[in-house]
Structure 1
Amino acid sequence: MRRPTLTPRQEDRAIALFGLLGGLLLIALKVYDHSSAIPRWATVPALLVMAALELVRRTRPVLTVTVGGFAFAVSIFTGALLATSLMYTDLLYAAVLYGTPKMSRILHLTGAASVLVLSTLVLVYSDASNAVAVVVLATLIYLAPVWTGDLVRKHREEADTQRLRAEQTALLSEMDRREAVSAERARMARELHDVVANHLSAIAIHATGAQSVARRRQRPEDDPLVEALGVIRENSVQGLAEMRRMIGLLRDSGGGEADESYAAPDLRAVDALLAKAQAAGQDVGLDFELTESGERGELAVPVGLAAYRIVQESLTNALKHAGPGRVLVRLDYRPEELRIAVDSPYRRGAGQELPGARAGMVGMRERAGLLGGSFAAGPEGDCWEVRAVLPRALVTETKEGRA
């Protein structure tokens, strides 16, 4: 159970209240010096002044120690009261803790002077034993609170310094981390641009050139070779566009606005995705069908991108590995989650030895896992099933945008 905490103003009020009530109780019991000769009402003014000064002990340290010193001196002659003495020591402690360093030096000097003067007077007009007792008592009243306040203040300042240093260290570490991430993104962008994008660009250029040669030779549009060249060119151009989009996202180091031309694809483009797959799958006897249920609404950008990539990778796998038949894509939009199901004809052993086999499965599983979703894929009878469940809202803020 969490303990209630008081505000600084409430603490000052509590100290003043308890000091006043304790002092009144001692006065009622006549527990003060010379109680037989001094009437009870004579000790009340000093007690009231001390209690009132406790209310401004943090904000008016000069006033509290000045007025409090006079009230304490008066209380010595009107009946020294323990509650009055304790509240005066608290005022000295607060003046050092919340006042200026100059205030601390002044109180050290005045406290030492008070101890010296009082002990000297007692030594002159009394004996040495009384002088020693006065030294001890005056030290406890005038110097001990000052020493304690000075020690606590130094510890607080040291703690503040250490906390500031820790915050600066954390800030520098975060800046170093961001610079490292930005440098890695820039390196990846350069490699994608210099290697992969160049290869895709070369494929698109050669496909375009081959189409031109076919047209000059007056090959018919429905010629399988011409259609294949068209599919190669279209997919290479599309891959090049997505590669440039990816390069733009990598070069956007965060904090600034990304170029709109690099907007991440989402499920609004799934129809075009299926149309391309349909065109590419005609030669192998594949037919594609999309069914959607529920309200699509607005999806978080990482969720929409992950869903698009999972559908895209599933269709690519179907084109590479599936046998002739129907590929069914189902998108189920639910209030809390998005369910993706892709069923395609299963050919046992197909594509197992191809370079990069299973890499797409790993990528889809990672995308779903980063968003707090689930992913499963595998054969079920004569069908290869892909199942993914993505939460519509991001699980944590740190995962946002990592899909």
Structure 2
Amino acid sequence: METPQPAAPGGTRAGAVAGRPGPDGTHGAAPWVVRWRSRLLDPVLALLLLVMGLVGTGPASDNQPGTVPPDGAAYAAVAVAALVVAVRRRWPRATLAVSALATAVYLVLGHAYGPILVAFFVAVYTVAAYLPVRPAALAAGPALAVLLVHMFFSAGAAPGLVGLVPGAAWVVVPFAVGVTVRLNRDAAARNRSEQARRLADEERLRVAQEVHDVVGHGLAAIHMQAEIALHLMPTQPERAESALTAISRTSKDALDELRVTLAVVRRGDDGGERSPAPGLAQVPALRDRLAGAGLPVTVEVSGEPRALPVAVDLAGYRVVQEALTNVLRHAGPATAAVRIRYAPAEVAVEVTDTGRGGAGVGRGVGGSGLAGMRERVTALGGSFDAGPAADGGFRVYASLPVEERS
């Protein structure tokens, strides 16, 4: 049985390696599913085949003149071939070997083609469906040879060469069907594995973006306050002390937000209580922190503020946060204005400043911060624009649809 794979980030379980069956031939199925199938479905199938064999062998013989009527040995072979199916998933090779031997004995004794061949069909299918092609072929080949013995040695009428093709069909057809099923199952398992990897990669990128936004904003504010403190320390130590106090407060806020982000990542989707994600309602608090860092910011809200989808609310807040962080880093002495507009079908945020428009690496359209903002917005079906403002400074604008895109 496959060893269960470790849990993936977020609580999901990664799929087993596609195309690599365990000793019982399973392909990444959960252990309890394998046990349930093998302990219930296969025995039920074996009992159905047994009933079919006991009931149908006599009529099959009546419809095939020249065959030996079924006796105790015939029904014993039918019972063996049917009952061994109960362990077909656990021991597929052994099941095929026993079924092939019982079927060959039945046919060599001269009995008619009948329900026993259905049990043999199932055994061949199982080997092909639950083992790799090469081991399955190595098991099916001897089974075919054993089955064809009755073509030349039989207590009844031996079919001879004429019966080779229809006799071989009882191996070739279930083998082909089993291989096809197995290949389709392996392809589906690979698709699930690739999807799990893709989701994990997307989650890692999302977390990296969150950490970048939190840490980048905090460090930019701390850097600005440190520069102010160093400049004022020789001549105005009391104002330098105010800057150092702001550094302490900003660093604490950044650490708290980072701690919340990482705590959510660690908990994943286990249903634990999560701290609320930042949203546009926290923009005034962001403004106050930046005012302490030496960047005057005004906030203007139009329309009726309302609850937004979490992803939209967070994306809007991160756009404002990253845009103001860029002002701290690159605009020089400047002021900034944040405008938030609530409309029936969208919410729009705009951040403008009076600093050096387009100056600095991060201010250009190719800046990594702007790229992250654009990715956040477009992923939700919104629009994003950033560049030098017409009257100087820099402008960042994002429009987000209120309805989250699936």
TM-score by length of 1: 0.50
Identity %: 21
1:235 maps to 2:250: yes
Matches within 5 A, 1:2-401: 60=52, 63-73=55-65, 96-98=120-122, 117-118=156-157, 139=162, 144-163=165-184, 219=238, 225=240, 227-249=242-264, 252=266, 254-256=268-270, 260=274, 263-278=276-291, 280=293, 286=296, 288-294=298-304, 296-300=306-310, 302-318=311-327, 321=331, 327-335=337-345, 338-347=346-355, 350=356, 352-354=358-360, 356-358=362-364, 359=367, 360-382=369-391, 384-396=394-406
Q: Which amino acid in the other structure matches residue 252 of structure 1?
A: R
Give distance in 2, aligned partners of 1:199 and 1:277.
12
Give distance in 1, aligned partners of 2:50 and 2:382.
54
- The answer to which structure, 1 or 2, has the higher relative contact order (CA under 8 A, 6+ apart) is 2
Deviation at 1:375? 0.9
Give distance in 2, aligned partners of 1:325 and 1:255.
41
Using a 3 Å threshold, how does the CA distance of structure 1 residues 61 and 145 change in structure 2: closer, same or farther? farther
Give distance in 1, aligned partners of 2:360 and 2:123.
77
Using a 3 Å threshold, how does the CA distance of structure 1 residues 238 and 135 change in structure 2: closer, same or farther? closer
Q: Which amino acid in the other structure matches residue 232 of structure 1?
A: I
Cα deviation per residue 1:352-401 (whole Å; 9 max; x = unaligned)? Answer: 554644433222112223334321012342164322123445445xxxxx
SS at match of 2:175: helix
Q: Which amino acid in the other structure matches residue 61 of structure 2?
A: G
Give distance in 2, aligned partners of 1:199 and 1:295.
30
Q: Which amino acid in the other structure matches residue 311 of structure 1?
A: V
Give distance in 1, aligned partners of 2:222 and 2:337.
31
Deviation at 1:70? 0.9
Cα deviation per residue 1:87-111 (whole Å; 9 max; x = unaligned)? Answer: x98978756534789x999975666
Give distance in 2, aligned partners of 1:61 and 1:149.
17
Cα deviation per residue 1:325-369 (whole Å; 9 max; x = unaligned)? Answer: 77241232534xx3323152544xx17554644433222112223
Give distance in 2, aligned partners of 1:293 and 1:243.
31
Deviation at 1:232? 3.3
| Unmatched tracts of structure 2, length 5 or more | 1-47, 67-111, 126-142
Using a 3 Å threshold, how does the CA distance of structure 1 residues 354 and 343 change in structure 2: closer, same or farther? closer
Give distance in 2, aligned partners of 1:357 and 1:326.
14
SS at match of 2:65: helix
Deviation at 1:154? 1.8
Using a 3 Å threshold, how does the CA distance of structure 1 residues 373 and 184 change in structure 2: closer, same or farther? closer
* Larger radius of gyration between Structure 1 and Structure 2: 1
Give distance in 2, aligned partners of 1:275 and 1:69.
94
Using a 3 Å threshold, how does the CA distance of structure 1 residues 161 and 313 change in structure 2: closer, same or farther? closer
Q: Which amino acid in the other structure matches residue 387 of structure 1?
A: Y
SS at match of 2:306: coil
Using a 3 Å threshold, how does the CA distance of structure 1 residues 229 and 175 change in structure 2: closer, same or farther? same
Deviation at 1:265? 1.6
* Kept in 2: contact 1:340–1:389 (CA 8 A): yes
Using a 3 Å threshold, how does the CA distance of structure 1 residues 252 and 311 change in structure 2: closer, same or farther? same
Alpha-carbon RMSD? 5.5
Using a 3 Å threshold, how does the CA distance of structure 1 residues 287 and 96 change in structure 2: closer, same or farther? closer
Deviation at 1:71? 2.7
TM-score by length of 2: 0.50
